[in-house]
Each structure stands twice: as structure tokens, then as C-alpha cells.
Copies of this chain bind each other. A is one copy, B any other.
Amino acid sequence: MATDIPDIVIGRLPIYLRELTRLAEEGKQKTTSSHELGHRLGISSAQIRKDLSHFGEFGKQGTGYHIGYLTEQLSDILRLSSEWDVAVVGAGFLGHALAHYNGFLDRGFRIACIFDNDPQKVGEKMGELIVQPDTDLEKIIKHKQIKVAILAIPPHVAQPMTDRLVNAGVKALLSYAPIHLTVPEGVQVSYSDPVIQLQRMTYYL
């Protein structure tokens, strides 16, 4: 009930968590079922039950899952009980969008700082934050013990910046730069490239 849980299962937990939160917001009910959850997400009920069964027995026969309880459990499993400070690197349009996005706070993350190497942008106010010079990056990340960063910079500087971040202690990286990044063992990387996603769909058109 601990190690050896497939990545693909972990990958679905945040989806379940998000939908549970929506259900709670709708507030019409205290419990849900694998069938209802699956129907809303386009996933089979069996898969949801099997996924959850990796971590314990959260449901009750005949009733289903208590929404509040399952939400708590999933949050714990995903280490979201306390907030993660996040560093955003790059204060361009995308950095702007990230800094102003208010969807992080409720879901376990807080943008703690934003960096840029352009002296024109340094000092600029962005949401609650002020753009910091990238020369202070290591100092601030180490001081705040930041483990999570988002890359919103051009591709040709993404790998060196990744190296700097990892060196400063970052362990999880979400990159919007359209290149594959190389990181040491134990560092997590996730990518978001809208063009890749669009290209995956055009095949079927």
C-alpha cells in the first residue's frame, strides 16, 4: 500500500481531486460514487475504484465515497496539505498570466517570486509580486527553500536555467519552453507546449 504505485495512477489523482472539489462546490450532496465521478470525467468506474484502492479503502458499499473525506485523503496523498511556494522564471506575457492567475492558491501552490533577466522588467509590479533580477535567483530560492518552479522563458535559455534551478534546490519543474530538458535523477519535469497539443489533434481532423 505504499511504493510501486504506477505513475499513470498518480497522474489521475489530481483529476479526481479537482472534480471532487467541483462536486463540493455544487454542494448538492455529501457523497459520490465511482460511477458518478467516472461519468463526469469520461473514465470508467472500475478504473477509479482500482486507482483509489492502491491507497486504502476510502469508500463504503452501497453509499460510495464521502466527498469531504476523499478530498482530504487525496490531498494528503499528493502532499497538498500545506502550500508549496513556487518560483516563476520569466516575466513576459506568460509570466504575467501566471502571476495573475488566482487558481493556484486554493489548490496547494503559491507563486512566491518571479524573476527576469531584463533590467527593464526588474522592479515591475506583477499582481502581488515584484519582478526580481535573475542574478538573485539562487539566493532567494535557497533562502525560501523553494522546491517547485515554472519556466516561462525562451527555449535557448531553458536548459541552462534548469541547471541553475536544480542546483539551487528545485525538485519539480513545469516548463513552457518547447524543448526537452535534461535533469538529474529525482527531479520531476512536466511540459506544456500548446503546439504539441494542437499537433496531436490535427492528425484526427
A 157-180 binary contact with B (CB < 8 Å = 1; else 0): 000000000000001101000111
Work out how many copies of this chain go into the complex. Answer: 2
Instruction: State in angstroms the CA–CA spacing of A14 and B199 once bound together.
Output: 6
B172 with A201: CB separation less than 8 A: yes
Q: When A96-B93, A178-B18, A205-B172 are in contact, do A195 and B103 touch as well, CB less than 8 Å?
A: yes
Question: In the assembled complex, which residues on chain B have CB atoms less than 8 Å from the CB atom of A22?
Answer: 179
A202 with B93: CB separation less than 8 A: no
Sample of 4 more A-B contacts, CB < 8 Å, known A93-B97, A148-B198: A18-B195, A79-B205, A86-B198, A93-B93
A199 with B93: CB separation less than 8 A: no
List, sorted by A's number, 13 A–B pairs whose CB atoms are closer than 8 Å: A15-B196, A18-B195, A42-B182, A93-B101, A94-B97, A148-B198, A148-B201, A172-B198, A172-B201, A188-B201, A190-B197, A192-B194, A192-B197
CB under 8 Å from chain B, chain A span 5-48: 10-11, 13-15, 17-19, 22, 40-42
User: Is A78 an interface position by the 8 A CB rule?
Assistant: yes
